[in-house]
Structure 1
Amino acid sequence: MTSTDPQLAEKGARMGLAAEIATREPFADVAARLKAAQSRELDAVGEVILEHLDSSVSLIPEVARHLMGAGGKRLRPLMTLSAAQVCGYQGASHHHLAAAVELIHAATLLHDDVVDESALRRGLRTANIVFGNKESVLVGDFLFARSFELMVKTGSLKVLDILSQASCTISEGEVLQLATQSNVETTQKMYIDVISAKTAALFGAATHAGAVLADAPERQERALADYGMNFGIAYQIVDDALDYEGTEEATGKSAGDDFREGKMTLPVILAIEAARSGEERAFWQRTIGEGQREEDDFARAQELMARDGLVERSLSMAEDYAEAAATSLGALPPSRLRDTLEDLALSSSVRAS
């Protein structure tokens, strides 16, 4: 009987996974394909959003358009529309639902940038830098209020309940992230709790609400809720991993932003767990725990992560959630749209680095 070195086995498994992932269609391509198929629906959602940005206070639409005009993948409304349609929805209320989801997302971004003191989003100056923190917070509140107007227009109390609960969960996630900020004792479980609430909850609510709007059977509702949650977790893990080796084109932010903000993301948690000396532990305590960073520290962080393959390990964990998302769609009847949603989940870890 022969034995296998656990580290070599893990490395081999990572290489096998990397080879499998490399054969998949890139995430950006799948998202573009889904977006093209839903172009008319997205245009209708855009019209609803523009209508609900209107206000007699001119600064409100000005701030909102600064944020929403900066682009973005529009993944959440896209997935909301697709979830309703994959369950056979034929009406028009999914436009209001998708617009509500996008306004919730926009509101959280405005609040996020104030809390994180961010200066750039998608390569442009953030609203809090251009207009001020108070203005950003208040316009974010306005967008939340508008989103609830749109939820009511769907005519579904269950949809209202799902998105209301998600809004509360997102706020809890924001507070929980503050508790883990710069805390080098943060565990993997705490991290997953944060991103489940802060990011995945809205994806899960969007796809769940889409199924509810279509009056789908309970089994399909649950499947789409699980799809959105697991997709959201995978998506955020990948975003966080790419901060240590990605490009601005892939992530929408400059490499090292999370490091400079002292965020306890999965790659950092794994790096602290993998520290081989007191010097390495002290490095993470100084740079992340105490916020004392020097010019070459980010390069050192990347070096430590590359040595132990921690970005790859993070992506491997993301892949588990992506596969769970894709598998959940087995509860839905076969269709081209279902296949595309599966591809979207499985390709979520295939983003340029």
Structure 2
Amino acid sequence: MTAAHPQAPPLPEPQFADVNGIRLAYYEAGPRQGVPIVFCHGFPELAFSWRYQIAALAAAGRWVIAPDQRGYGLTPGPEAVEAYDIDCLTGDLVGLLDHLGVEKAILVGHDWGGIIVWQAPLLHPDRIAGVVGLNTPFTPRLPLDPIVMYRNAFGDDMYIVHFQKPGVADAQLGADPEKTIRFFMRLPKGTQEDFLSRPAEKRSLALQDALAHYDPATDQNQFLTPDELAVFVEAFQRTGFTGGINWYRNFTRNWERAEALPRRIDAIPCLMIMAELDVVLPPSMADRMGEQIEDLEKVLIEGSGHWTQQEKPDEVNAALLDWLDRKFPQ
């Protein structure tokens, strides 16, 4: 099964900015006017994940920018694990705005990119004009180190806990990048309620075990076209997965850093786009966001799994443009 929507135009040619100690690759489209929109991808993704949004928003006259973030695609990252903490990741975005001569931007983030864009206004409040979370909700600081909580709740085999082991997940995911990308980027098979109703042994979050037994040849749940798949595969064949995994290895460091940060987002417009069938980041996770965010709207994308901007690009584009036209009219 593949996507029914037409393939998006190719990305613009990459540009590069020396910022925050790295050479950041980014893709830019649309007229350089108004407040720019910066798209932040997740794991294991690329700026290419936003191909449909870049094309649609630029066609609507919006200035759009999508970086290959630290450790991904054409943006190589340092070796040190701590070079992928939240200060570095948000600092890359601020450095990109400085490079472009931009005072403030609207940040749109999916998956791990969502964590970045929700933390950015807490760390750099004077640089953020608005925030859109795609699948990933804003959550206040947890009472315990997240890795401790995940280990207590799900055991050592839970994939985020597993990712903390140096080199282990890196080697497994990098051994066959095509298998890895096809394993992750699949259409949903049901709701979170369906997932939670399974027997305990079939509710495992040990993705490394599922990947080991995954057979791409029998998988009919794909949404990427062969050409789209090839873009991701080529990138991760070249870079490996360590850069992206290192983001996960900073959960504890980021949690410690967050103790000094505000617990609320006030005075900036925010949009939460939820995906009905995302088992990892279900809509229910956004239920209490209104308690922490002053100006919040929510949109539910029906029938979408985790890869919402690629699975349901038309619906995501419509939600973005509607909110932008009302909150940031041109």
TM-score of Structure 1 vs Structure 2, range by shorter chain: 0.3 to 0.5
- Structure that is richer in helix per residue: 1
TM-score, reference length from structure 1: 0.32
Bigger radius of gyration: 1
- Structure that is richer in strand per residue: 2
